[in-house]
Amino acid sequence: MTNETKISVIIPVYNAEKYLEKCLDSVVNQTLENIEIICVNDGSTDSSIDILNKYSKKDPRFIIIDQKNKGGAPSRYEGLKIASGDYVFFLDNDDWITTDALEKIYNNAISNDSDLVIFKSVDYYTTKDSYDYSKGYNHEHYFDKETNFNDFIFTHEQIKPKVLNSKVVAWNKLYKKEFLNNFDDFYFDNLMYADVPFHVQVLLRADRISFCPEYLNFYRKGHPEATMSYTFKTRESFDILKIIDEVESFLNNNNFMKEYKQEFFIFSIYPLNVWLELVHRDFQDSFFEKSKNKLLSLKLSSKDLEELPINISNIYKNIVNSDSFEEMQLNIIKEEYNIKLNNQRRKYEKSINKQKKLLKEIKDSNSWKITKPLRKIRNLFNK
């Protein structure tokens, strides 16, 4: 029997007074009205709770949980525990959705009987007031152009590159509550980047995934209050190492590692290189050491390295073959210099070969052959 509440929207809220009303307005004004809006105030110290109370007085669909600070993922879990909707939708407190977003993904879920629906998102850069549609979670290129996505399901095998090495977030999907209830180990721990293992778990476990090919979520980036803006300045940046461990354990314990071995290597190597460049200099040496130990623990063989994309293989070698962060940077500079030198050499060789080819064409031409006697006479006079 279908629940009267079609979707439970769960919004963890922490010190979001600057952007919260835009987020809430986008939910309140949805064309799909049979929803509940569960807002979890996670120990905010600004006026966020006042804003939430103001909205809840006007709209009975609001449910407010006010708790001591636990973190974003645990707050989602608190909301999930009381959610009564047939489907669950997570929204970050500084993002917003189109007014018809919930209706479109709900209709897609119903027509496909989906465990989860994935949709596209837009990156919004606050300081530039600009929108980037290029990084949206796009699945169209995996399927035929004629695909009717309101009557089409797939599994993780058909979107394999997206499982570990794409936009690994919780907020670009609609989840069937019954599907989430079938498991008691979805990842909601209080770590930075907790979206990552949860994303991997749901994609690998879902039997019926569908896709709504529309841009429905606006993901706010580049503002001082954003989590990523301060994470690299603190030891929370080390959480990425724990996240890699969590994903590795899940893949091993659920017999997915063999299928996703190469993808997992890329998933482990690439972000550590990015983090090494971004973490605060006070933590760089320590983070380098832990990153090197993590990569060594993967025990990549020569064959594994050959099968990886060349840039990923080079990142791995730069880290494991260096004894410090500073040495790694010097090795990168040397490598970049050698690449530049080799490119110049190839360019020079190409130019020389082009000239040789042109010279050969001239010598093989009829005009060259016809003028041969004249050249001989000229050479005699030059003597």
Q: Domain locations in the chain?
A: 7-229, 235-321, 333-382
The whole-number pLDDT of residue 136 equals 59
In this structure, whether the domain defined by 7-229 belongs to CATH 3.30.420.40 is answered with no
Label residues 316-327 b or e (16+ Cβ within 10 Å = b).
bebbbebeebee
Say which residues have a Cβ less than 8 Å from residue 263's Cβ, sequence separation at least 6: 160, 161, 163, 164, 165
Name 267's Cβ contacts closer than 8 Å, sequence gap at least 6: 164, 165, 244, 247
Q: Which residues of the chain carry a pLDDT beneath 50?
A: 1-2, 230
Contact 5, 30 (CB under 8 A): no
Q: Kindly report, residue by residue over 232-249, the tens digit of the pLDDT.
A: 567 788 889 999 999 999
Among all chains, which residue has been given the structure tokens 């999930």?
Answer: 80
| Structural tokens at position 366 | 């009829």
pTM: 0.82
Q: d(Cα 95, Cα 100) in Å, to the nearest integer?
A: 15
**pLDDT for residue 228:** 52
pLDDT of residue 168: 86
Phi then psi for residue 96, to 5 deg, are -150, 165
